[in-house]
Structure 1
Amino acid sequence: MKSFKLIPIGAALTLCVAASAPAFAVTVAPAGPITLSGSTTLTNPVTSLGCTATMTGTIGGSGEISITSASFSGNSLCSHVTPASLPWSGQVLSTTSLSLSGVGVNTPLGNCGPSTIGASMTENPADKETVIGFAQQILSGGCKVSGSLTTTPYLTVQ
C-alpha cells in the first residue's frame, strides 16, 4: 500500500500564495493622465520613416497602462500614419521595464501590428524626466519600431 505524506496547511497556503504573487510589484507615482512624446522610427522591408509621436492615456499606481490616442508628425508621410487597435494596454514590469500590447499603426506603406513590444524605463531625477526607450521591436506585417519617448508628468517607479 502506498503511503501519502501530508503537507501542513500553513505550508500549503504559503505555496499557493507564492504561486499567485506577481514576480515584481511596482508602485508608480503620480497615477493618472499621461502623455508620451518623442522621436520614433518605423522600418518595413521597403523603407524607414522617422516621426515625432505623441501619445496620451493613463497610468495606474500599480503600473497598468492604457494608451487611448496617438498621433504622428514630422515629414509629410508622418501625418498619414494612424494608430490601429486603440486602446493599447500595458504594464510597468519593474523599475526599468514595461510591456505594451496591441501596438499597431496603419501607414501609406502598409499596416504594422498589432503586436506586443517591450521597452526600457529610465528615470532622470536631475532633469525631472522619465524616458521610455525601445529598439527594433518587431511588429507583425514585417515592421520594426524604435523610439525614445519622454513622459509628462515625470514618473517615479518603486
Structure 2
Amino acid sequence: MKSFKLIPVGAALALFLAASASAYAVTVSPAGPISLTGSTTLTKSGIAISCTATMAGSVTAAGGISITSAKFTGNSLCSLVTPTSLPWSGQVSSTTSLSLSGVAVDTALGNCGPSTVSASITENSTLKETIIGLSNQSLSGGCTVSGSLTTTPYLTIK
C-alpha cells in the first residue's frame, strides 16, 4: 500500500493564495502623481454633454488609483458638470483594464453616480501614450459616460 503525505490545509491555502495573487498582480511605472485629459460624453435623459475632462490624482506601483480632482470644460453645459464624492478610488486590475469606484457628478440635468466604472487601458509605446477608454459605462441616476483620456506621464503596466 502506498503512503501519501498530506499537506496541511493551511499550507495548501497559502500556496493557492500566493499563486492567485501573482496571477493578478500588476506593476505600474512610474508610480506617483498623474493627470488625465481628454474628451468625455455624459448622457442623461437622452441629452449628451460632450466636454474635455481634466483630472488629477495618483497611482501606486501596485496599481492603486486615487483621483482627487476633476474639471469639465467646453460648451456652457460642461461648466455645470461638477464632480462629487472625491477622491474616486480604483485599481488597475490587468495590463488592459481598471476599475474606478465612487464616480459621481452633479449636472444641470440631475445627479449621476456614485458608481463603479470599468475602463480599458491601451499603451502606445511608439507615441509614449497611455489611453484610458470608457465605453457607455452606466452611472446610477440614469446616466452613461464614454470617453478617451490620455495620462501624463506615460504609464507602463506589466
Q: Name the TM-score, length of structure 2 as normaliser.
A: 0.92
User: How many residues were matched structurally?
Assistant: 153
Please report how far the alpha carbon of residue 46 of structure 1 lies from its aligned counterpart in structure 2 after TM superposition.
Answer: 3.5
Shift of residue 18, structure 1, vs aligned partner: 1.7
Equivalent residue, structure 2, for 1:115: 115
How do residues 38-117 of structure 1 correspond to structure 2 at under 5 angstroms?
Answer: 38-117=38-117
Superposed displacement of residue 6, structure 1? 8.7
CA distance in structure 2 between the aligned counterparts of 1:66 and 1:94, rounded to whole angstroms: 17
Which residues of structure 2 form unaligned runs of 5+?
Answer: none
What one-letter code is carried by the residue in structure 2 that aligns with 1:127? L
User: Partner amino acid for 2:16?
Assistant: A
Equivalent position SS for 1:61: coil
Consecutive unaligned residues of structure 1, counting only runs of 5 or more, are none
Secondary structure of the structure 2 residue equivalent to 1:13? helix
Amino acid at match of 2:17: A
The 1:6–1:132 alpha-carbon spacing in structure 2 relative to 1, beyond 3 Å, is same
Show CA shifts across 1:50-82 (max 9, x none). 000000000000000000000000001101111
Q: Give the distance between the partners of 2:129 and 2:141, measured in 1 at CA.
A: 33
Q: Which moved more, 1:11-20 or 1:39-48?
A: 11-20
What's the CA shift for 1:17?
Answer: 4.0
1:8 aligns with 2:7: yes
2:147 aligned residue: 147
What amino acid maps onto 1:48 in structure 2?
A
- 3-state DSSP of counterpart to 2:26: coil
The amino acid of 2:42's aligned partner reads L
Q: Give the letter for the 1:112 counterpart.
A: C
Q: Which amino acid aligns with 1:19?
A: L
Amino acid at match of 1:14: A
CA distance in structure 2 between the aligned counterparts of 1:52 and 1:123, rounded to whole angstroms: 21
What's the C-alpha RMSD, in Å, of the aligned pairs? 1.6
